[in-house]
Amino acid sequence: MSDLNHPEHVSLVKLSTPAGTITVELQHDLPTDQLEQATLDDFTVTRLWLSDLVEHPEATEPQAPETLKNVLLSYFDGNIAALTQINFDLIGLSDFQFDVLGWLAQAPAEIVNYKDIAKAIGKPKSARAVGTALSSNPIPLIIPCHRVLPVSGKIGGYLGSAKDSSSIKRYLLWHEGLIESTSD
């Protein structure tokens, strides 16, 4: 198994999904020609971009690990819990951001609002700051910030001000069975 505390390589891989193209940053110790055969324990995800929506770096590797492809395909085939198998690292975040994103990573697959998260992390007056922390989520989808809505229940934005962001958020919520329709 790799020493993921001090990885030798950072690779960017691109995957096609029903939600569009996803670019994923992986840290690993494998020779890049072995990355496609990596197990889930051989790499850590440190960034994820829904590439069709936001600017992202270009992929550096031609093939993503088959295990990562399989987990993502399983998620898009209806196994919502599949993403919990992916190892990730929340590097470069403040303690507050880490608390918010860490809580959301462990939360049940249900819609919550900013106020719910603020209460859950013991800072009930920080709902607005929770929203700001969620906008710094380096691995959307894996940490499901799409499940967080304003108290009003409106879908709201996703991934900051990314173009067409509410439609992908609506799609993900519909896909997970949390809303009934992908239309307004």
Q: Which two tokens stand for residue 19?
A: 């939600």
Residue whose entry in the numeric block shows the structure tokens 């994923």: 24
Query: E strands of 2-127, at which residues?
Result: 9-17, 20-28, 43-50, 112-113
Which CB contacts under 8 angstroms, 24+ apart, belong to 69-77? 69/15, 71/40, 72/15, 72/17, 72/22, 73/17, 75/141, 76/17, 76/18, 76/19, 76/175
User: Which residue out of 38, 133, 145, 149 is catalytically annotated?
Assistant: 145
Helix and strand numbers (H, E) in the chain are 5, 5
Amino acid, res. 47: R
Active site residue 166: no
Amino acid, res. 33: D
- Supply the residues annotated as catalytic: 145
